[in-house]
Chain A
Amino acid sequence: MLKKRLIGVVTIKNSWAVQSVGYRSYLPLGHPEYVVENLDRWGVDEIIVICIDRSHRNLGPDLSILKRLSSLRLSTPLTFGGGIHTAKQAVSVIQLGAERICIDAVLHDDPEKIFEMERLIGSQALVACLPFSIKSKVFFWYNYRTQKSIPFPKKIYDLFNKGLISEALIIDWRNEGSDNGFDINLIKKFPFKNISLIAFGGLNRINKLTAVLKCSSVVGAGVGNFLSYTEHAVQTLKTGLHQCQVRPSVYLGTV
C-alpha cells in the first residue's frame, strides 16, 4: 500500500532559506542548497520548496534556484512552488527537475489557468497550496499578498472535483513555525471529502504528527525547520511514526 509521506518543507525568501513564523517574520537559515541537500541525504519522502516572494513581486518562478537544486542530483521527489502563473512556467519547472509544482497565487488571480497547466503536465503534478484558518466552522483562505482571508470559494473546490489538482497542502499559517501548533481541525473539519491532504504548519512532534497522519484524508505531513535544528530528526520522527504507514527510515541503512 501507499505509504504516508514525511515531507521536508523549505521556505525561501530573497533567495535564502528562512524560518517563517506565522507568515509574518522570517529568520535566515542559509543557502537553500544546503538545507535541501541535507533533507535529501536524510531520506525524507519528499521535499517541498516554496519561494514565497515571487508572486508578490511578479517575478515568476525562481528557475535559477531550481537549477542549483537540480544540480545537487537529488534523489528525493521535489515539489517546487512560488511565482508559477502560467502553463509555460509550469512546464519549465518540471523540465528543470521538479516532479510536481505547488500553486497558490494563481488560484486567487486566475484559476482558469489551471486547466492549461493540467493539460500539459497532468493533474498528478499539481498541488494546491492553501493557507487556512478556521472560525465558527468556516474555512478562511489566506491571501499572503493582501494579508486578508476570505471564505474558501467553491470554484477552487471545483478544480479538485474536476480532477485538475491531485493534492492540497493545507497550511495552518497562523501556527506556522510554532511548537506543536498545528490545528487538527483544519483536517478533521475540512468540508470537502475525497481530496488528498498534506498538513503543514506547526508540526514537529510525534504526537501531533501521529494524530494528523492517522486521518484517512491525509497522505503526508510537512515539517519545516525542525528537521534542520535537531540531530537525526527524520530518523527519529520516522521511528516514532511507524504505526502511521510511514516508509521506514533509510538513512541508517546507508551508512
Chain B
Amino acid sequence: MKRLNIGIVNYEIGNYASLQNTIHQIGYRCQISHDKKLLNKCDILLLPGVGAFRPAMEAIKKKGLDSFLVEQARHQRPILGICLGMQLLSDGSYENGYSKGLGLIPGEIIPLKNPRWHIGWNNIKILRNDSLFESSNGKSFYFNHSHTYQGPTQYQVCKAMANKAIVASIRRQKVLGIQFHPEKSQLEGKILLKHLLSKIDNA
C-alpha cells in the first residue's frame, strides 16, 4: 500500500503548524515547503490559509508558486485549499480591492454582508452527490471568514446556512476547496480530512 506524501505549500501566511499537527495526528506524513522540487514529489498539495487574500497572492507570486500550482493542477495533482486557501483557487477576490487568484476554479470571492463575518461552528449540507463529503453531510465544522465564494453552481459542493447560504466547499476535478477549518473542527474535522486525503485522488 502506497504511503501518501503530503505537501503543505508554504507562502508564509498561513496556519501551517495547526495543519501539520492534524495531518500527523491522522496518520500521514507531510512537509511544509515552498521548494517546488520538493512539492513536485508530493502526492497531494495543501494550500492552507489564515489571512487576507491580497498579501497571500503576493507572497505566492513572489515565490513563483502561482505558475507551479497551475501546472500541478493541469497534471491532475490533487490540490486541497483550506479557508483562504480555497479562496485563492478562484479567479480573484474583492478583499481590499480586486486581486487575481490562481484561476483553478471559476468564480470570485466577494465580501459577506449582514453580517460581515461567518465565524464559529456551522453545519454543512451537500449540494450534489460527492463521495468525498457524503459522510460529513450535516456535521458541524469551524468557519472563520469575511469573504465568500460566488461562482457557477457546477463547482459548488457544500453550503452552510447563515442569514443566507454560504458556499462551504468547491471542486473542479482534483482541485478542491473547503471554506471551513477541518484541522480545527475536532473529531469531525479529522474524520473529514482523513477521508479527503485518502479519496481525493480517486474520487
Interface residues of A (CB under 8 A from B): 1-5, 43, 45-46, 70-71, 73-78, 91, 94-100, 118-125, 163, 166-167, 194, 196, 219-220, 247, 250, 253-254
Contact = CB atoms under 8 A, between A and B. Distances in A.
Nearest to A5: B120
B192 to A, nearest CB: 12
B63 interface: no
Contact of B146 (A2, A166, A219): A166
Given A94-B51, A125-B51, A166 B119 contact: yes
Contacts of A118: 52
A124 B96 contact: no
Interface of B: 12-18, 21-22, 24-25, 50-52, 54-55, 84, 95-96, 115-122, 140, 142-146, 161-162, 181, 183-190
B184 A99 contact: yes
A89 to B, nearest CB: 14
Q: 10 tightest A-B contacts by CB? A: A73-B21, A97-B17, A122-B52, A3-B121, A124-B146, A77-B184, A166-B117, A70-B17, A2-B120, A97-B18
A4 B119 CA distance: 10
Q: Secondary structure of the B side of the interface?
A: mixed
Contacts of A43: 186
Contacts of B142: 77, 99
A119 B56 CA distance: 10
B187 A219 contact: no
A75 B183 contact: yes
A2 B160 CA distance: 9
Contacts of B121: 2-3, 5, 45, 247
Nearest to B19: A97
A73 B24 contact: yes
17 contacts: A2-B120, A2-B143, A70-B18, A75-B22, A75-B183, A94-B14, A95-B12, A96-B17, A119-B96, A122-B51, A122-B146, A123-B116, A124-B119, A125-B51, A166-B116, A166-B146, A250-B187
A128 B140 CA distance: 26
A105 to B, nearest CB: 22
A172 to B, nearest CB: 22
Contacts of B140: 3, 247
A83 B55 CA distance: 24
Given A95-B14, A166-B119, 16 more contacts: A2-B118, A2-B162, A3-B120, A45-B121, A74-B21, A75-B22, A91-B51, A95-B15, A99-B15, A99-B18, A120-B52, A121-B50, A123-B117, A123-B146, A219-B120, A250-B187
Contacts of B21: 70-71, 73-74, 97
B51 A196 contact: no
A94 B15 contact: yes
B9 to A, nearest CB: 14
A62 B146 CA distance: 27
A44 B202 CA distance: 35
Contacts of A45: 120-121
B120 to A, nearest CB: 5
A91 B13 contact: yes
Nearest to B116: A163
Contacts of A124: 117, 119, 144-146
A76 B184 contact: yes
Nearest to A165: B117
Contacts of B189: 75
Nearest to B25: A73
B12 to A, nearest CB: 7
A127 to B, nearest CB: 9
A45 B143 CA distance: 11
A97 B119 contact: no
A36 to B, nearest CB: 14
Most B C-beta atoms less than 10 A away, residue of A1, A2, A99, A120: A2
A3 B190 CA distance: 20
Contact of B18 (A74, A91, A119, A120): A74
Nearest to B95: A122
